[in-house]
Amino acid sequence: MKEWLKRVEKAENLEELETLRIQILGKKGIVSAQFIKMKTLSNEEKKSFAKELNEYKDSFIKAINLRKEILELALSSKILKADKIDISLFNSKGNRGALHPVMDTMDRIVDYFVSMNFSIKTGPIIEDDFHNFEALNLPKHHPARDMQDTFYFKDNFLLRTHTSPVQIRTMLKHKPPIRIISPGPVFRRDFDLTHTPMFNQVEGLVVEDEDKVSFSNLKYMLEDFLKYMFGDVKIRFRPSFFPFTEPSAEADISCIFCEGKGCRVCSHTGWLEVLGCGLVDNNVFKAVGYEGVSGYAFGLGVERFAMLIHKIPDLRSLFEGDLRLLEQFK
């Protein structure tokens, strides 16, 4: 009997244990066989024999159940171990992602203006004629509309060609003082080395009561901003035209490819145009019902900044998702 108990304790798996259980406790098992033997004994002997036999039976049952529990536990932990995914495992190839250069540049631009106390405003990408053109002093059939090749929908809707409509929406909702930037995607029918049908802009607007805002404020801010973005470059403001600003200017930086000596990128002028700006035209203020205020506005293309900062020759490559390009920005 003791021999059988030992075998139970040493059973290596559940199948072996089940076979043992049948051999010990089954109808034709060793315990039953002992009970049959009992018939041949005297009544006196029967009593003590039955007692001993029942004790054995109990200890068999206990031993089998205990062994079963142990084997089941071992089996489930074996299954769990085999299924385990070690998410903490370090990837030895070091294949880490990085921000896309356009988003990285966008973040830097936004960071600058947020540090200068501008707040961020966004607006719809599908705009209407009023917010994208009319209120910005661009009446229907105005020739300056050709400056922005527009994607039109039916019923006066269009894909916004700049984020200036966000400025209109902000002024219609709030009274001055206003100090906002509007970052986001814009759309134009353009496709070549330096233009894509979708690109990102950051435009800015500052409006205050009376004549508190001047061109010097604008110039000071943008010079500081351009130095922050491009480092030690020369900056110049050149008179220009935008329907929504008067006077208007474009800001140039000295060419960062040839340091102003003249090369293909700067068309041998030594200068690179980087943004448009000006004092807000009074007609724009009229369109939003403002009176007796002054303000400045500016606008820039984020992809163009990214191209110049990282010296990327073809703007279109920023949109192709080619890993060989993107891996250089880790």
Q: By CB under 6 A, name the one of 266, 277, 302, 315 that touches ligand PHE.
A: 277
Judged by beta carbon, residue 137 or residue 164, the one nearer ligand PHE is 164
Stretch 103-142: interaction string toward ligand PHE, x if CB under 6 A:
----------------------------------------
Stretch of 85-93, 174-182, 274-282, 308-316 contacting ligand PHE, by CB under 6 A: 274-282
Q: Are 193 and 314 in contact (CB under 8 A)?
A: yes
Stretch of 3-11, 67-75, 226-234, 270-278 contacting ligand PHE, by CB under 6 A: 270-278
Stretch of 19-27, 76-84, 224-232, 273-281 contacting ligand PHE, by CB under 6 A: 273-281
Give dist(CA 163, CA 145) in Å, integer. Answer: 15
What are the φ/ψ torsions at residue 190 (nearest 5 degrees)? Answer: -150, 140
Q: By CB under 6 A, name the one of 56, 118, 133, 298 that touches ligand PHE.
A: 298
For residue 296 the two structure tokens come to 């400045």
Judged by beta carbon, residue 203 or residue 303, the one nearer ligand PHE is 203
Supply the DSSP symbol for 175.
P
Judged by beta carbon, residue 105 or residue 245, the one nearer ligand PHE is 245
Neighbours of 3 (CB within 10 A): 6
Judged by beta carbon, residue 11 or residue 178, the one nearer ligand PHE is 178
DSSP-assigned states of every residue in 230-287 = HSS--EEEEEEEETTEEEEEEEEEE-TTTTTS--TTTTTSSEEEEEEEEEEPHHHHHH
Give dist(CA 110, CA 115) in Å, integer. Answer: 9
Supply the DSSP symbol for 134.
G
Q: By CB under 6 A, name the one of 105, 137, 164, 294 that touches ligand PHE.
A: 164
| Residue 299 within binding range of ligand PHE, rule CB under 6 A | yes
Judged by beta carbon, residue 31 or residue 178, the one nearer ligand PHE is 178
Judged by beta carbon, residue 59 or residue 150, the one nearer ligand PHE is 150
The helix/strand/coil state of 88 is coil
For residue 73 the two structure tokens come to 């536990």
Stretch 182-221: interaction string toward ligand PHE, x if CB under 6 A:
---------------------x------------------
* Nearby residues of 125 by Cβ (< 8 Å), 6 or more positions away: 159, 160, 184, 185, 187
| Residue 242 within binding range of ligand PHE, rule CB under 6 A | yes
* Nearby residues of 67 by Cβ (< 8 Å), 6 or more positions away: 8, 9, 11, 17
| Residue 237 within binding range of ligand PHE, rule CB under 6 A | no
Residues in touch with ligand PHE (CB under 6 A): 162, 164, 203, 242, 245, 276-278, 297-299
